[in-house]
Amino acid sequence: MNKNEVHYIESLILKKTTPDSLDKFILEILRPIKKKSKASPKMESIAYYNLIELLTEYYIRNTQNTTHRFAIQTQLLYEKMLFNEAFTLLVKNKKNASEHDNYYLILELLEWEEKVINAISPQNADELRRIIKERNHAISCVQNINEYHSLSNELMILLKTGSIRSEENLNELKRIVSSELLANEDKATCLTAKMYYYVLKSGLQWMQNDFEPSIKNMTKLLGLFEENAKVFSSNILSYIISYQNYLMLAIHQKKHLLVEDKLLFLRNEVSKKIPENFTYTLCNLEITIAINFLQNTLSSKNYEKGLKQAKQIEKKILKLPATNLEPQLILAYYNLAYLYFVTDKYSEALHILNYINQNFKIDIRTHLHVFASVMQVIIHYERENYTLMNHIIRSTKNRLMKNVGLKSIENTILNAFYTKKSFPEKSDFIPAFVSLREKITELEKDLENAKYLMSFNIKAWLTSKIEDKTLTELL
């Protein structure tokens, strides 16, 4: 249909229908179109379905109906007693819903299918049995999806701070890990449930430092997205977030060339699949690329390449809206600050760290807020503000205690910068640094502590001061 035909149909709809009673059924409106355009049977069919779409839009706009548009289309035909047409449309729409793994919509359409079949062929036992079977399957899939969705939300709430900070949270995590839903992938009975399974399983395996199984499940997750494009076409954001996790694990395993390859794929291929008006998804893609580029730069020690891009990345992420992007933005800014820190660009690092403290809530990625504070303390030490160290430590600890509390390992790190001298010198801190390095070596034997310290290699920095080496030599 060309634009003139569409406008002509719209004008007829406005003349011949009202939102309360659609008193001219669809074929009455279609007749003058047929006569006017002398369309082929195929074109008549296309015009017919386009017309139903237009009429549905008009109905939704004027009645504020929250029912799915596919169900409304069936309702419009059913109320005009066009039962065969309604059934044909139902078959088409139900197939579409099935291809998109939309079991909520399938249940809605099955309600109408039962009504339509009873109108065409009352008490058709075979058809009713088929509907009952399809409904039971759809209900089972909806329940399965809801169970995984609930488990995913529980984990997301638990990890809001970025790390486990209490015994109660640790016990809750153990309960999630031992959930029957995560026993094996067969527990997920449809594609959406499988997506949740792979997300949860790979994430929990990563948290337990079980890296090989984790990356296998992440690879399966990405394969699931790519093999079922129709199902996940409306959920490309989950695909991007999954890619971010996959790349972060690949970086941890030193697969730097693979990461560079995939970042180009995200930039050149995935970005083209996102509609221009999908602002939130586009922002997520931009920040995913920034985070993984910075982490890959740090891990591969290609600091020169990172610094060349740093200012450009800073400008790009500064333009992104903070709403609902805080966890990703904090991670991006933290990695940017860390790049500046390890390359001795303390003014730039301090600027970013101050920005983190002033602009983001401390209860989101709390461990990064804490390490940002530790980094600020170290920068003051590097700038030889030795006489201010006790004051800086007190104010830092007071702020953290007031807002989130201090873990034992965090308190131990900060205490190493206390000094009893009024006018301390650089050498006065070295014995405390030696002691702290020994304590951290012991603490790292605990898996949770080792995982926690991955965000900031404090031991390498301590060694650089004790042995008078540059930090980049030791990382």
The rounded distance, in Å, linking the Cα atoms of 382 and 346 is 8
Domain membership flag for residue 68? yes
The rounded distance, in Å, linking the Cα atoms of 148 and 160 is 18
pLDDT tens string 3-60: 554 455 445 444 444 434 344 444 454 454 444 444 444 444 555 555 556 555 555 5
Domain membership flag for residue 124? yes
- Torsions phi, psi of 301, nearest 5? 60, 25
The candidate with the shortest Cα–Cα distance to 281, out of 312, 244, 250, is 244
The rounded distance, in Å, linking the Cα atoms of 381 and 372 is 14
Domain membership flag for residue 63? yes
Cβ distance 232 to 192 under 8 Å?
no
Segments in the chain below pLDDT 70: 1-68, 161-165, 234
Domain membership flag for residue 119? yes
Helix (H) or strand (E) holding 374: helix 366-382
The rounded distance, in Å, linking the Cα atoms of 297 and 287 is 15
Q: Output the pLDDT for position 81.
A: 78
Q: Output the pLDDT for position 56.
A: 58
- Beta-carbon contacts of 267 under 8 Å, excluding residues fewer than 6 positions away, are 289
The rounded distance, in Å, linking the Cα atoms of 237 and 409 is 35
Domain extent, residue 109, equals: 3-131
Q: Which long-range contacts (CB under 8 A, 24 or more apart) does 111-117 make?
A: 111/71, 112/71, 112/74, 112/75, 112/78, 112/86, 113/87, 115/78, 116/74, 116/78, 116/83, 116/86, 116/87, 116/90, 117/87
Domain membership flag for residue 232? no
Domain membership flag for residue 371? no
Cβ distance 240 to 271 under 8 Å?
no
The rounded distance, in Å, linking the Cα atoms of 167 and 146 is 28
Read off the DSSP letter of residue 417.
T
The rounded distance, in Å, linking the Cα atoms of 100 and 131 is 19
Total domains in the chain come to 1
- Torsions phi, psi of 139, nearest 5? -60, -45
DSSP per-residue letters across 297-362: HHHHT-HHHHHHHHHHHHHHHHTS--TTTHHHHHHHHHHHHHHHHHTT-HHHHHHHHHHHHHHS-T
CA dihedral sign of residues 245, 248, 249, 250: positive
Q: Output the pLDDT for position 186.
A: 94
Cβ distance 244 to 266 under 8 Å?
no
pLDDT tens string 63-76: 555 556 777 777 77
Identity of the residue numbered 28: E
Tell me the C-alpha to C-alpha distance, in Å, between residue 172 and each of 156, 215, 373, 409: 12, 24, 28, 22
Rounded to the nearest integer, the mean pLDDT of the chain is 82
Cβ distance 196 to 188 under 8 Å?
yes
- Return the structure tokens found at 39: 């369309």
- Return the structure tokens found at 111: 């309600």
Domain membership flag for residue 461? no
Q: How far is CA 356 from the centre of its chain?
A: 21
- Return the structure tokens found at 304: 């020169």
Domain membership flag for residue 51? yes
- Return the structure tokens found at 37: 């355009």
Q: Output the pLDDT for position 64.
A: 52
- Beta-carbon contacts of 224 under 8 Å, excluding residues fewer than 6 positions away, are 191, 194, 195, 198, 232
- Torsions phi, psi of 277, nearest 5? -85, 0
Cβ distance 117 to 124 under 8 Å?
yes
Q: Output the pLDDT for position 377.
A: 92
